[in-house]
């Protein structure tokens, strides 16, 4: 793809960014989760350019960002009481709702699905951009496809300078991992992608049980804390016929650093020992090793730092990343583990 001139804008130049969106261009902008790469969601040609800039498979649908909760009516024909409750409790914020789509939403935006993912981000810059552009904005994370999601302006510049019309240089993202994706288009609300809004938060708001998409347990026993072999269902893997994720994005390998990466899982003290042992062993053989080990149960901090650490270690050109697993079966730690395991290509050492 030929390179183009990319304007680096400050948050005082949002009007310029809005103009670019209105005229079918691409703008990367901060949200509270990660940076997004935005285009007018109702303009199929503009959305096609997002896939091209990211190098993203075109069956992977995009999240549509709105600037006022009431704008969801432009995108979906039907709002259930649960959807309204979720909007009242969690918007603006890191919760994407997958709802039935109206015909006017282009196939390009939804990857041809009859549903659309919608969220109202909790970031003044993002909201101002959407409201000034006066259209819903389709925005996947603003990284090259397959790379770690960008949580800082410099990460976006590294990936997309020369490929998009503008990048708004805003603050580092508060959350650090992408929004929770909740499918509310069917009978049972189902989490398709975990985030910092957890099943417990959602269940408390709507007063009913939330399901987890089986694809979230790919290569994993349902209960990571169970004894080896005691789990009721064997883990699925990518090649299983049973593995048919509702969220097309789940199929693709993701978030990969340049370095080789291994996750070490088990009792905390043993994990620390194993990391030290593997580090020493690899360094002795001339490899540069990076370690990612978060404080025990500091899940929010882990979410905030994880992608930034991967990118920093790549900049330091380490050969191998050793990451300590977080023990959490369905909360924020689980959401971080979802990213960590994908980054490592499910390369797991159990101790």
Q: Where are the alpha helices (DSSP H) in 134-256?
A: 153-160, 199-206
Tokens 């790379």 belong to: 147
Q: b or e along 74-112 (b: 16 or more beta carbons within 10 Å of the residue's beta carbon)?
A: bbbeeeeebbeebbeebbbbbbbbbbbbeeebbebbbbe
Name the residue nearer to ligand TXA (CB basis): 34 or 164: 34
- Rounded to the nearest whole angstrom, what is the least distance from the CB of residue 311 to ligand TXA in the complex? 16
Measured between alpha carbons, how far is 32 from 124 in angstroms, rounded to an integer? 9
| β-strands 211-212, 180-183 pairing | unpaired
Minimum distance, C-beta of residue 79 to Mg ion, in the bound complex (Å): 26
Rounded to the nearest whole angstrom, what is the least distance from the CB of residue 40 to ligand TXA in the complex? 15
User: What is the rounded distance in angstroms from the CA atom of residue 351 to the CA atom of residue 339?
Assistant: 20
Provide the pairing of β-strand 95-100 with 115-119: antiparallel
Burial class of residue 114 in the structure, from the number of CB atoms within 10 Å of its CB (0-12 exposed, 13-18 middle, 19+ buried): exposed
**Closest separation in Å from C-beta 116 to ligand TXA:** 5
Which of Mg ion, ligand TXA, none has residue 248 at its interface (CB below 5 to 8 Å by kind)? Answer: ligand TXA
Residue 23, Cβ neighbours under 10 Å: how many?
A: 12
Binding partner selected for residue 60 from Mg ion, ligand TXA, none, CB under the kind-specific 5 to 8 Å limit = ligand TXA
Query: Of these partners, ligand TXA, Mg ion, none, which one is at the site of residue 31 (CB under 5 to 8 Å by kind)?
Result: ligand TXA
Q: In the bound complex, what is the minimum distance in angstroms from residue 191's beta carbon to ligand TXA?
A: 11
Q: Does 198 bind Mg ion (CB under 5 A)?
A: no
H or E segment at 232? none
Q: Which residues bind ligand TXA (CB under 6 A)?
A: 31, 33-34, 36, 60-63, 94, 96, 98, 110, 113, 115-117, 121, 139-141, 178-179, 181, 192-193, 246-249
Instruction: List the single partner that 247 binds among ligand TXA, Mg ion, none, CB under 5 to 8 Å by kind.
Output: ligand TXA
Q: Name the residue nearer to ligand TXA (CB basis): 27 or 292.
A: 27
Which of ligand TXA, Mg ion, none lies near 62, with the C-beta cut-off 5 to 8 A by kind? ligand TXA
Which residue sits closest to ligand TXA, CB atoms considered?
Answer: 249
Euclidean distance between the first and final Cα of the chain, in Å?
45
Comparing CB distances to ligand TXA, the nearer of 216 and 320 is: 216
Q: Taking the complex as a whole, how short is the minimal distance between the CB of residue 133 and ligand TXA, in angstroms?
A: 15
Where residue 240 falls (left for φ over 0; alpha for ψ -120 to 50; beta otherwise) is: beta
Nearest Cα to Cα of residue 256 among 99, 139, 149, 159: 149
Residues 131-150 that bind Mg ion (CB under 5 A): 141
Between 38 and 290, CB nearer to ligand TXA: 38
Token representation of residue 75: 């995108």
Query: Which of the listed partners (ligand TXA, Mg ion, none) does 198 bind, with a CB threshold of 5 to 8 Å by partner kind?
Result: none
Beta carbon nearer to Mg ion, 57 or 171: 57
Q: Which residues bind Mg ion (CB under 5 A)?
A: 141
């Amino acid at each position: 793809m030929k390179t183009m001139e990319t304007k680096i804008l400050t948050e005082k130049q949002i009007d310029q960014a809005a103009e670019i969106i209105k005229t079918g261009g691409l703008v990367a902008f901060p949200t509270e989760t990660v940076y997004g790469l935005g285009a007018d969601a109702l303009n199929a040609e503009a959305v096609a350019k997002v896939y091209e800039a990211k190098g993203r498979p075109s069956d992977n649908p995009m999240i549509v960002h709105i600037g006022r909760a009431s704008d969801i009516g432009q995108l979906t024909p039907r709002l259930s009481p649960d959807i309204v409750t979720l909007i009242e409790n969690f918007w603006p914020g890191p919760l994407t709702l997958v709802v039935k789509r109206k015909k006017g939403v282009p196939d390009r935006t939804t990857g041809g699905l009859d549903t659309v993912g919608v969220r109202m981000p909790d970031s003044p810059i993002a909201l101002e951009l959407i409201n000034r552009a006066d259209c819903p904005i389709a925005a996947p994370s603003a990284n090259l496809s397959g790379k770690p999601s960008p949580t800082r302006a410099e990460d976006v510049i590294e990936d997309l300078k020369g490929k998009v019309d503008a990048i708004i240089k805003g603050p580092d993202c508060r959350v650090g991992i992408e929004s929770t994706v909740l499918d509310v288009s069917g009978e049972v609300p189902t989490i398709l992608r975990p985030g910092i809004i957890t099943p417990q938060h959602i269940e408390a708001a709507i007063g009913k049980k939330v399901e987890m998409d089986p694809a979230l347990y790919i290569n994993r026993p349902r209960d990571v804390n169970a004894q080896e072999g005691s789990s009721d269902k064997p883990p699925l893997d990518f090649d299983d016929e049973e593995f048919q994720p509702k969220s097309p994005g789940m199929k693709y390998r993701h978030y990969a650093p340049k370095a080789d990466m291994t996750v070490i899982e088990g009792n905390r003290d043993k994990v620390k020992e194993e990391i030290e042992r593997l580090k020493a062993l690899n360094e002795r053989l001339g490899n540069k090793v990076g370690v990612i080990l978060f404080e025990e149960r500091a899940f929010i901090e882990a979410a905030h730092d994880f992608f930034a650490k991967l990118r920093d270690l790549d900049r330091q050109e380490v050969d191998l990343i050793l990451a300590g697993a977080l023990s959490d079966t369905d909360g924020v730690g689980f959401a971080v583990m979802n990213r960590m395991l994908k980054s490592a290509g499910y390369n797991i050492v159990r101790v």
